[in-house]
Each structure stands twice: as C-alpha cells, then as structure tokens.
Amino acid sequence: MAVTAKDKVRQVEPGIWKLVDDRFYVEIRPYGRDGKKVKKTLDKLDEARKFKTSEFAKAQSGSEPANPDKDARRLSDLVEDWYKLHGYSLKDGSGRKGVLLYDCELLGNPVASKFTAEDFVLFRKKRLETPRGANTGKMITANTINHSQAYFCAVFNTLTKLGKWPHPNPLHGLPKLKMDEPDLCFLDKSQIKSLLSELKLSTTADLYIIAKICLSTGARWGEAASLKASYVKGGKIHYSKTKSGKARSIPITAELEEEILKGRPKSGLLFNQRNHRHGFEDAVARAGIKLPDGQLTHVLRHTFASHFMINDGNILKLKEILGHSTLDMTIRYAKLAPSHLSQAVTHNPIATLHSV
C-alpha cells in the first residue's frame, strides 16, 4: 500500500518518517534530486536508518549506474548545494563560494554531468592568457588556477560523500599546473628600521605597534590587528581562531607587552578596526622598499620567519610559532639557516684539490 501524507505522524530525520502504525517510512533520492526515488517501510527506526545509509553507500560506490542524461543540474547548482551542506562551515567558505560561482560563469555554467577535465584544461589555458583586469597588465597566476581546481574537486568530492553526486569527479587525477618556487622576500635590518620609522610617523593609528607585533611573533596582520586586551598577558600573546584553526601562544618581552597595552582599552579590541592597507602601503613607499606583486603586510611574517632561521632557530619550533598545519609550509625557510648546505663549502671538488 502506498504511503500518503496522512500516514505520516512526524519526520524523524531527513528522509525518514514515523507512521501512524508506529512503523518507519524511508523516502530518499540517493542519486541526487534528479535520480530515482527509493522508498521502503520498516518496523524499527534502526532498520530504517541502516537502509537509508546502505542506499546512499550504494549510490556513492556506483553499484547502480546513475543516468547522467536526467541530471540537469548546472555547475553553479552544485556549488550552491556544496555551500548549503558544507561550505558554510568553512572559515573561507563564503569567499570560496564567490570564486567558484565566478569561475562557473566564465566556464559558461555547463550541465555538471557533462563537465569534463578537458573543459577545465581549456578554461585554465584561456584564463592564463587573459589579464586580471582592463589595462592592468597583470596576468592570472598558476597558483590562482590551481586554487580553482582544488575548490571544484572539493565540491565534487564532498557532494559524493554526502550522496548528492552519483557521477565520477570529472577533475579526479588531473595534474595541477607546475609553478616556479616564488622568491622568499623578507626585510633586512636596515629596511625594518626604515619601515618602523615611517609607520611611527603615519597618521593611521596603530600601524606601528601592529607591525611590531607581527615582527616579534610571526603573526599575520589580521591576527595582530584583531587582538583583544585579554589575549596579551603573562608575557605572551595568545592567538585564537587563526587561519589554520590552531590556537598558539607566543612569548614577548615585558617591554613590548607594556607598549601594546599602554593607553589602550582594558577589555575588548585593542586597535581600531579600520582598513590599514593604504597607510601601510604609503609607509613602505616612503621607506623606499620594493615588494613583489601581491605581497604587502605579509612580508612582516616572512621577515620574522626568515630572521628566526638566519639566527639558527629550530625549524620545528618555527612551525609551532607560525601555526603551520604541515612542515612542508615551513621548510622553505630552512635554507636560510647558517648550517644549511654548509657542506657545499668543504665537500666540493675545488676544496679537496689540495689532497690530490
């Protein structure tokens, strides 16, 4: 007998209803909203849940082929589904969604089930040949394209796990674009002094002390600028809700702690939440410092890490201080250590000629 709305007492969870006769009714679309509907009535809630789970697992494994011709969802529809189900929970979820929808538009927003790796390869080739904006002369970087590829892969993979995408991931196995290792840009001591002097003279409040915090603790500008008074205590600065999700506490001198807190609020945010970019950019220009495109305040974090290793700091400790998720993110600074590759001096053939 077909189950009607009158038979349903209440919805226990998505896809499962309790019936008037105390049985449980499952009605789901494990192959997506345009896939076939699966229905079954079972005696117990545990049985209903197991059936629902097994049907989604079956769809995910591909044991029953889906019909891509009936799946009319566009690429942007998948992005919206991904955001509603998972993306909203990510720190950069909203920004990532914006990037994805913009790329969907540039791709012509194809039917997702018809989208192929070749489509993306042609898209990224065109993007690399197109300036970022009118009359800027700046081109899209391989790094930007690789981020887009990673974002789209995550959409397909996440929806597959949630039973919302019954087809293969079209970008699975597609190699990312190879990139040259970027120059490691950091400030030397004279540049640090010049920059701090200019920041101290700036009419934009708090630039000087925020920069000192970044240079003293390796913090990102946003982490330092959003510090609360309660985060600076006991000779340490405590960072939470960071980009990597890792909380960390970095020791500072008593002098710096006093300078940070002096004349500032005893609770809440320490600094004005204004746009510091222009003030910092002006100070960099007045100090005569040239920075690579796309790098501004982040040079302070690079400078901390670079000088840490130049002064023979421990790479594992640096990883903890910077809050990096993996050592791969920190290892690029290792080359600045005094002992790094020092054997090149003593083990090269010229150095050993005297013994021949």
Catalytic pick among 193, 243, 317, 335: 243
Catalytic pick among 29, 97, 164, 301: 301
Residue 301 annotated in active site: yes
* 163 conformational bin, left if phi > 0, alpha if psi -120 to 50, beta if neither: left
As a dihedral over the C-alpha atoms of residue 127, residue 133, residue 139, residue 143, rounded to 10 degrees, the angle is -70
Calpha distance 15→3 (Å, rounded): 13
Calpha distance 139→25 (Å, rounded): 56
Catalytic pick among 25, 31, 151, 333: 333
Total length of the chain: 356
Calpha distance 146→158 (Å, rounded): 18
Residue 243 annotated in active site: yes
Q: Which residues make beta-bridge pairs with 40? A: 26
Residue 324 annotated in active site: yes
- In the chain, at which residue ranges do the beta strands (DSSP E only) sit? 8-13, 16-19, 24-28, 38-42, 232-233, 236-239, 248-251
Catalytic pick among 40, 49, 236, 298: 298
Catalytic pick among 8, 324, 332, 340: 324
Catalytic pick among 29, 74, 127, 220: 220
Catalytic residue numbers, as ranges: 220, 243, 298, 301, 324, 333
